[in-house]
Amino acid sequence: MLTIVFTAMAYGAVFVFVAGFLAKMYKYAKTPSPLKIPTTPAPLNPIGAGIRVLGDVIFFKSLFKGNKWTWIGGIVFHYAFLLVILRHLRYFLYPVGWDMSLQNTGIYAGIVLPIAVLYLLMRRTTVDRTMFVSSLPDYFALALIFGIAVTGLLMKYYVRPFMVDVKGFIFGLATGHFSTVPLEPVFLLHLTLVMLLLVYFPFSKLVHAGGIFFSPTRHQCDNPREKRHINPWSPNLSA
């Protein structure tokens, strides 16, 4: 029974995440930009603008200009999270192959992740300006990821569910060869929180993960004199 519930929930969560996220990205992609509004100085061609966007995606360059303390917290948090996710690919791969080399790093990242969350929470609550603008959704996102990280670490160091069962269940979900869900409460809690995060993702500020690619001040290049930009909903003087 529990297996059916968790299997259904897992598919549902992944569906909501993928469909919701793609729908948002589609909406961003198709919404027009009537004017050229790159924040200048800006690169003069689309390739340069692409590099500028990647600078923000990979190095958080603008945040670095803005606030070094938030930058270091943000960088550590995001890269720790990324490594943890990459490490988890072992549950979807058979044989595990290349992902084996990431297992140790992934574990260290898993230890760093909740610490980074606490650091960001501390930033949020100790600076009067961020305290003023923070509210429930901001704390909820941090709490959710903290919960996921801590339940993950618990399984690594304390409760230790039988890994063959865990992999069997997850791999089964991925390939359609279903097997029973391991009845370890910490694992079920971990899984539930992950599904909650997936469902919450497309409807919250977490869509910044994709939205960053659609920010006109960053992805537009500076060439309005050379190339006439057309406003699609008012293309010329008579329209």
Q: Would you tell me which residues interact with another protein (CB under 8 A)?
A: 24, 27-28, 31-37, 39-44, 56, 60, 62-63, 65-67, 70, 74, 123-124, 127-130, 132-138, 203-205, 207-208, 211-212, 214-218, 222, 224-225, 228-231, 233-234, 237
d(CA 182, CA 166): 6
CB of 105 or CB of 234, closer to another protein:
234
Number of neighbouring beta carbons within 10 Å of residue 47: 10
**Closest approach of Cβ 37 to another protein, in Å?**
6
User: Residue 104 has which token pair?
Assistant: 């140790």
CB of 38 or CB of 168, closer to another protein:
38
**Closest approach of Cβ 114 to another protein, in Å?**
19
**Closest approach of Cβ 164 to another protein, in Å?**
39
**Closest approach of Cβ 7 to another protein, in Å?**
26
d(CA 213, CA 25): 9
CB of 64 or CB of 92, closer to another protein:
64
CB of 34 or CB of 185, closer to another protein:
34
**Sequential DSSP letters for the chain:** -HHHHHHHHHHHHHHHHHHHHHHHHHHHHHS---S--PPSS--SSHHHHHHHHHHHHHH-HHHHHH-HHHHHHHHHHHHHHHHHHHHHGGGT-SS-GGGGGGHHHHHHHHHHHHHHHHHHHHHHHHSHHHHHH--HHHHHHHHHHHHHHHHHHHIIIII---HHHHHHHHHHHHHT---PPP--HHHHHHHHHHHHHHHHGGGSGGGHHHHGGG-HHHHS-S-TTTSPPP-TTS-STT-
**Closest approach of Cβ 18 to another protein, in Å?**
16
CB of 5 or CB of 58, closer to another protein:
58
**Closest approach of Cβ 226 to another protein, in Å?**
9
CB of 36 or CB of 88, closer to another protein:
36
**Closest approach of Cβ 69 to another protein, in Å?**
10
d(CA 120, CA 134): 12
CB of 111 or CB of 209, closer to another protein:
209
CB 107 within 8 A of CB 156: yes
